[in-house]
Structure 1
Amino acid sequence: MISGTCICVSHTLLQLAEVYRQREEYSSAIDYVSRTLYAYGRAFLGAFSFTSGTNRLDFDRIENRPFFLAIHRQVIDLQRRGCPRTAFEHARLLVSLDPLTDPHGVLLHLDYLSMKAGMGDWLLNVWNVYLGGEAEETEGCTDPSVLPGWGYARALLLREKEKERKDRGEAILAFPSVIPLLADKCDISLPTEVRSHKASRIWTDGR
C-alpha cells in the first residue's frame, strides 16, 4: 500500500523525465526516474518488501500507476546502458507486483533479459510452472507459452542443455511466422515455398 503524499511529486518527476528523454538528455531523465522510485520507496508502508516477491500492488488504483511506469522506464534505460542483469531484476520486480494482468507487458522483456543476464534457468522454471501447475495456481495469469519470444528462448536454452530436438521443433510449430523474420535478421536465404507458405505469413488483422 502507498500513502498519498508522493502522488503529485511522482507525476511531476515522470513528466520531467519524459521531457528530458525527448530531448535526448538521458542522464537527466534517469535522474528524475530514480527520484520517482525514491519518493515511492519513502511512501511505502513498513511491511512492504521488494525482495520477498509476495507483495502486490493494484494497478487499477491510480496512485499506484506512476510506480509501475517508473520501474518500466528504468528497465528500458538499463537495457540501453547495457546492464541486462539489473534490468532483469527490475523487470522481475515489476511483474511480481501484478502477475495476474502484467499491465506493462513486462513478460515481453523477460525472455530476452533472462538469456542476456544468464538467468535461463529462471525462464525454464517459470515455463514449467505454467506447463505443469494446477489450474487454480495460474488462473488469470498471462501464459508465457503463448508468447513467441518465450517459445524460442526456451528452445535456445534447451539446445544449450543438449536436450532433444523436439523441444526446438515445438517453438517452430507453435510460431512458424517468426521463421522468416529470424532468417532476415541472420541473413539466411529461405526457399520460396517456405516464405510463401500460409503458416509463415504474419496476419495484421487479428486472424
Structure 2
Amino acid sequence: MALAAELCERALFSFGRVAPSSFKQSLEQGMARMDFRRPENRQFWLAGYHYIKSLIRKGTYRTALEWAKLFYSLDRSDPYAMRHLIHFLAIRAHESKWLLDFLHHLETEGGRDDTAYILQSRILAMLQIGDEQQARQHLIEGMQRVPWLYCALFQGLNVDTPPSVWGIHCETEATEFWVKLYLYQSKDLWNNPQATRLLLDVAKSIDRVDAKSLPKDEHPIDLGVARMAYIDGQTSLLALVPRSMLEQQPNYEFDPLPPAEKDNIFTGEGCRLPWREQRQNPARLGGIIAQMEELLARRGPPPQEDEDVLMEQLRNGAFFGANGEAEGGDDVAEVPVSSEDRGMVAALIQLLGFGGAREAGADAREGEASRDNDDVQAADDDGSGTTDLPGSWPAEEGRRGE
C-alpha cells in the first residue's frame, strides 16, 4: 500500500510539472476545468482517486477532502462520483459548515438522482456544530422521504428498528445500491451515542411511514458511481450495478469504464485505438469460428493434404472475412494477428483433436511401441529361457539350472 501511494504521488507530481502556468493560476482561483471526455485527461482522475483512497487509509481526512473538492470542481459532471466521498470526508475533517453549504448547493442545483441520500449527512453536520433542533427536524423529513435507508441503518447499527420504519425495504436493485453505498461510507459516522439516541427518539416519536404513498424511487445508477464501485472492488455494490455497464468494452485498468465512443472528444487517431480494436475483434473471432466450422465439417474422411493446408491457414491467421478478401471479392481492411490469437487457435486445434494433438498422439503411440520392442529384445538377449514364466527371478532360475 505504501508503494502504491508513493507511485500515485509521483504521478500527480508529474502531472503538475507538465501543467501550464495558466492552468495553475486557474486552479488557485477555483476556475480550472478539465474535460473528462478527453481520454488523455482521464489518467489524472484515476491517479487522484487512488491517492484520495490512500489518504483515507492514513486517516488524513482534511487532505483527502481538499483533493476531492479539486476533482469535483474540475468537471461538474462528476465522473468519479466525488460527491459520495465529500459528504463523509467533510464530517471526518470537521468541516460541517462548509458541508452544509455544499449540500444546499446540491439540493438547489438539482439534476442528481441520488441527492436525497447524500442529504442525510446534513443531520450529522448539524449535530457536529451543536444544532440538535435542526438536526431533529431534518431527520424527521429524512425518515419520511427515504424510510428504507433508515430501516437498513438501524439494522447496520444492530439497534432494534422502531415500528415507524420497521419492515420497509428497497423495492428495486437501484434503490438497494444507493442504500448500501451510503451505509458503506457513512454507517460508522452514525455509530455514536448522540446520533443513535437521536435516531431512536425521532423514530419512536413519528407515526408509521406509509411507503406506498411515497413517489417511486427509481433513480438509475449512473456511470460515474458505477466506475467508483468498480475501482473499489466492493462486491456487494458491483452485484447491483447493471451488467451492461460492467461488461462494456473497451475497459482497461488505465481507463476503467470509459464513456461511450460517441461521447468522447478525440484529439488524435491514437486515442481511438481501444474502440477500433474492439470493432475489429468480432470480425476476427467470426473468421476463426467460420474456419473452425469448416474444419469440423471436413472431419469425416477428408484428404490429409486439404486438412493440413486449412490448419496452416488457421495458424497463420488467415481468418475468412477479416484478412484477405470478403465473400463478394472486395478487399477488406487488414487486421493484425497477435500472438494471443495464434495461441487461442492452436489451443482450439489441439482441443478438437487436430494437428498437434493428433501428431502428439501418434508420437506417443510410436514411443510406446518402441519401448515394448526394446523390452522384448532385452528379454531375448538375457538367454535364461525363462521369459515365458512371469514373476520368476533370474537368480532363482540360475540356481535351478545348476
TM-score (norm 1): 0.74
**Residues 97 and 203 (structure 1 numbering): CA distance in 2 closer, same or farther, change over 3 Å?**
same
Q: Which residue of 2 aligns with 1:33?
A: 8
Give 4+ residue runs of structure 1 displaced > 3 Å after superposition.
Answer: 141-145, 191-195
Q: Distance in 1 between matches of 2:141 and 2:45?
A: 34
Residue 55 (structure 1) aligned to one of 32, 36, 55: 32
Q: Which residue of 2 aligns with 1:111?
A: 87
Distance apart, 1:179 and its partner CA: 1.1
The answer on whether the counterparts of 1:88 and 1:110 sit within 8 Å (CA) in structure 2 is yes
Count how many residue pairs are aligned between Structure 1 and Structure 2. Answer: 171
SS in 2 for 1:105: coil
Q: Distance in 1 between matches of 2:72 and 2:29?
A: 13
The answer on whether the counterparts of 1:155 and 1:168 sit within 8 Å (CA) in structure 2 is yes
The answer on whether the counterparts of 2:106 and 2:115 sit within 8 Å (CA) in structure 1 is no
TM-score (norm 2): 0.40
Q: Distance in 1 between matches of 2:131 and 2:95?
A: 13
Residue 95 (structure 1) aligned to one of 38, 62, 72: 72
SS in 1 for 2:54: helix
What is the root-mean-square deviation of aligned Cα atoms in Å?
2.2
The answer on whether the counterparts of 1:91 and 1:110 sit within 8 Å (CA) in structure 2 is yes
Distance apart, 1:125 and its partner CA: 0.7
**Residues 115 and 144 (structure 1 numbering): CA distance in 2 closer, same or farther, change over 3 Å?**
farther
Q: Distance in 2 between matches of 1:51 and 1:185?
A: 41
The code of the aligned residue for 1:162 comes to: E
Distance apart, 1:38 and its partner CA: 0.9
1:8-32: per-residue Cα shift (whole Å, max 9, x none)?
Answer: xxxxxxxxxxxxxxxxxx1111111
The answer on whether the counterparts of 2:69 and 2:86 sit within 8 Å (CA) in structure 1 is yes
The code of the aligned residue for 2:52 comes to: V
The answer on whether the counterparts of 1:177 and 1:202 sit within 8 Å (CA) in structure 2 is no
Q: Which residue of 2 aligns with 1:65?
A: 42
Q: Distance in 1 between matches of 2:99 and 2:145?
A: 18
Distance apart, 1:34 and its partner CA: 1.0
Give ranges in structure 2 of 5+ residues lacking alignment.
176-217, 219-402
Q: Distance in 1 between matches of 2:106 and 2:170?
A: 28
Q: Which residue of 1 aligns with 2:103?
A: 127
Identity of aligned residues (%): 26
**Residues 163 and 51 (structure 1 numbering): CA distance in 2 closer, same or farther, change over 3 Å?**
farther
The answer on whether the counterparts of 1:127 and 1:144 sit within 8 Å (CA) in structure 2 is no
